[in-house]
């Protein structure tokens, strides 16, 4: 029997590479990545997954040859996990225009091909589309902030892709991800959990940007993978949007800093600096963010508690 094919964009990044590691036994995996923020090399991933195919290509700057390749690839692809994007508050802050233009180009060139082959597409959207809201439900109104704060361009990018997937009638599942984290997440681009843990272990200091009262809910990568497994194997949530997060792991950033200190039994300093001492005036922190996961709970309950997440990530920095 021929095996089904899975194409993963951003497949050398944190989430994309975990998808490859967890699904290579069931699927023939092909990865697309432009190596801009990858956390793993092709060789290292192949050492774990065996024969995976890889194409170094920028989805925002596809050549005719790339488009021909994608046409051939999509003919027999069963699932396309679309996880490539410019990611991280820090990275968006450094080049907000580039992120918006890049995403527009990806939508312009990629989505018509997905529509042509009616490829089942799992799209990594973001909790950022909800803006400053708690207990966010998939069917509620969204709050995008003013364009004076260019950070909101990231949420607009994600929303635009959500709208286009629907208007092209591409069979899809939209995942709105709420702070999915794990040992392989890079601390480089402003991801709070790996950054705080790395800093605590390596420098003896955690820096909080702002007053620390901003809330986040952290979800372990294995909980994303388990929910994805269900969604990939069935069509029951086709053309729907699902929040992926862990509502039990909701903390303020100040609480998180202390929890890291206590969990890892470290004698460290916790200091606060103004958000805009670290980020430009184009960026503003999101103060509230937590998922309503009633829909997710119809088929999966996230399992990994916050302390376990911290311990798991800390092993990376031993």
Ligand X SMILES: NC(=O)c1ccc[n+]([C@@H]2O[C@H](COP(=O)([O-])OP(=O)(O)OC[C@H]3O[C@@H](n4cnc5c(N)ncnc54)[C@H](O)[C@@H]3O)[C@@H](O)[C@H]2O)c1
Positions touching ligand X (CB under 6 A) are 9-10, 12-16, 32-39, 58-60, 83-87, 102, 106, 124, 126, 177, 179-180, 186
Q: Which is nearer to ligand X, 39 or 314 (CB)?
A: 39
In Å, what is the CA distance from 221 to each residue of 18, 71, 240, 312? Answer: 8, 31, 21, 11
SS3 315: helix
Question: Which residue's C-beta sits nearest to ligand X?
Answer: 13
Q: Which is nearer to ligand X, 186 or 276 (CB)?
A: 186
CB of 55 to ligand X, least distance (A): 9
Q: Which two tokens stand for residue 259?
A: 């929890």
**Backbone phi, psi, residue 283, to 5°:** -120, 145
- Residue pair 242/178 in contact (Cβ under 8 Å)? The answer is no
Residues 6+ apart with CB under 8 A from 178: 127, 216, 217, 219, 243, 244, 245, 246, 289, 290, 291
Nearest to 154 by CA among 181, 189, 122, 182: 189
CB of 236 to ligand X, least distance (A): 23
Q: Which is nearer to ligand X, 58 or 134 (CB)?
A: 58
CB of 201 to ligand X, least distance (A): 21
Q: Which is nearer to ligand X, 84 or 310 (CB)?
A: 84
Q: Which two tokens stand for residue 145?
A: 């902030």
Q: Which is nearer to ligand X, 109 or 272 (CB)?
A: 109
């Amino acid at each position: 029997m021929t095996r089904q094919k899975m194409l993963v964009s951003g497949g050398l990044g944190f989430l994309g590479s975990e998808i490859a590691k967890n699904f290579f036994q069931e699927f023939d995996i092909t990865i697309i990545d432009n190596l801009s923020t990858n956390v793993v090399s092709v060789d290292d991933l192949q050492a774990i997954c065996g024969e995976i195919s890889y194409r170094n290509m920028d989805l925002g700057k596809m050549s005719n040859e790339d488009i021909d390749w994608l046409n051939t690839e999509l003919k027999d692809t069963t699932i396309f996990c679309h996880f490539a994007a410019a990611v991280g508050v820090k990275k968006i802050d450094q080049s907000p225009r580039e992120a918006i233009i890049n995403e527009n180009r990806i939508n312009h060139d990629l989505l018509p091909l997905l529509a042509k082959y009616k490829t089942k597409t799992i799209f990594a959207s973001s909790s950022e589309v909800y803006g400053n809201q708690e207990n966010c439900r998939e069917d509620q109104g969204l709050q995008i902030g003013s364009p004076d704060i260019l950070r909101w361009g990231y949420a607009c990018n994600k929303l635009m892709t959500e709208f286009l997937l629907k208007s092209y009638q591409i069979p899809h599942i939209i995942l709105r991800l709420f702070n999915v984290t794990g040992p392989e997440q890079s601390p480089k681009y402003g991801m709070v959990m790996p950054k705080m843990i790395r800093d605590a272990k390596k420098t003896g200091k955690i820096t909080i940007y702002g007053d620390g009262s901003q809330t986040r809910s952290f979800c372990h990568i294995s909980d994303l993978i388990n929910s994805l497994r269900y969604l990939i194997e069935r069509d029951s949530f086709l053309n729907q949007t699902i929040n992926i997060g862990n509502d039990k792991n909701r903390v303020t950033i100040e609480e998180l800093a202390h929890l890291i200190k206590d969990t890892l039994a470290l004698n460290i300093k916790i200091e606060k600096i103004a958000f805009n001492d670290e980020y430009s005036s184009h960026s503003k922190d999101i103060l509230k963010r937590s998922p309503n996961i009633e829909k997710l709970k119809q088929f999966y309950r996230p399992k990994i508690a916050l302390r376990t997440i911290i311990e798991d990530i800390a092993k990376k920095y031993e």
